Amino acid sequence: MPERQATPDSQAAQVEERCEFCATGIPATHGHVADLEKSSLACACRACYLLFTQAAPGRGDDLPQAPAASASAAPQGAPRQGAAPRRGPARYRSVPDRYQRDSSRPMSAAEWDELQIPVGLAFFLYSSERGAVAGFYPSPAGATECTLDLAAWERLAAAHPLLATAEPDVEAVLLCREGRAAEAEYFIVPIDVCYELAGRMRMLWKGFDGGSEARASIEEFLAGVRKRAREAPASLGERSPADPRSTAGPVSQQDAGRG
């Protein structure tokens, strides 16, 4: 029996998402690129993802664009097809796929309490735009920003060197603990998975404590992080106190959900 030929309509139906740089169809599992000017994430095909893997932190465009299907397919400000690469700091940066932990330096309940986080899970990232570390936690409103104490974060970064290794804008420090008396776990994770979790909470959260479905989703998320996380090298040392990723100024609480 001859194979059935795929029609244009059937092929289009199989493509659920498209690269936001060149409009190429992409699978459900794909990479993301951070737009530092808009503080947003763009879905990317493998070719476009690789173009932005060596961008320096900052703003502007530094790398050429993959061939675009149309001028309107690329985000505003991205290089057009055939355009020469522009010099300067990069506006776009690929989100790496690194999951790392440091079990040799557990975080005590007392250290966790210094951060005064109102929930049992939060993530922290260094923003090159703001020049500071910001803290967020999942909530019914999405990713909600929490007040971060500068001195407390500096003490944690000194005691746990892994915290200062997160790449600005594209990686986050994920902190979590199961009970008030329990030690906290911490990981380096891609920033896109943090916002994916925040999106889940926005959809699933019910009542005061989130409900059973939201709690199950968090457990599933953490199980996936633990499974993928590799141990940090034993030689991991502390960064210089001058490293801006070890510091953070107080930030006000506000909704920080991303589109």
List beta partners, residue 43: 32
- If you average pLDDT over residues 225-229, what whole number do you get? 94
Greater model confidence, 40 or 63:
40
Quote the pLDDT of residue 62: 41
Query: What is the maximum alpha-carbon separation in the chain?
Result: 72
Check: CB of residue 255 under 8 Å from CB of residue 141.
Answer: yes
> Does residue 244 register a pLDDT over 60?
no
**For the chain, percent of residues with pLDDT exceeding 70:** 71
Give CA–CA dist 50/95, Å, rounded.
10
Residues 183, 107: contact at Cβ < 8 Å?
yes
pLDDT computed for residue 95 by the predictor: 95
Q: Rounded distance, CA 207 to CA 220, Å?
A: 20
pLDDT over threshold 90, residue 1 = no
* DSSP letter assigned to residue 36: T
CA angle 94, 149, 221 (to 5 degrees): 45
User: How many C-beta neighbours within 10 Å does residue 143 have?
Assistant: 22
CA angle 44, 47, 48 (to 5 degrees): 45
Instruction: State the average pLDDT over residues 89-112.
Output: 89
CA–CA separation, 143 and 234 (whole Å): 33
Rounded CA separation 234/242 (Å): 23
9-62 pLDDT, tens digit per residue, is: 444 445 478 999 999 999 988 999 999 888 889 999 999 999 998 644 433 344
Inter-residue contact 93 to 52 (CB < 8 Å): yes
pLDDT at 89 over 90: no
| pLDDT of res. 31 | 93
The whole-number pLDDT of residue 5 equals 46
Report whether pLDDT(6) > 70.
no
Residue 135 tokens read as 């803290």
8-state DSSP, 112: H
Average pLDDT score, the chain: 74
The model's pLDDT over 142-173, given as tens digits with 9 standing for 90+, comes to 778 887 887 888 889 899 999 999 999 999 99
**pTM for the full predicted model:** 0.71
Question: What pLDDT, on the 0 to 100 scale, is given for residue 14?
Answer: 52
Span 162-219, pLDDT tens digits:
999 999 999 999 999 887 667 889 999 999 998 888 888 888 877 777 778 888 888 8
**CA-closest candidate to residue 245, choices 150, 117, 159:** 150
Give the span between the Cα atoms of 179 and 69, in whole angstroms.
Answer: 51
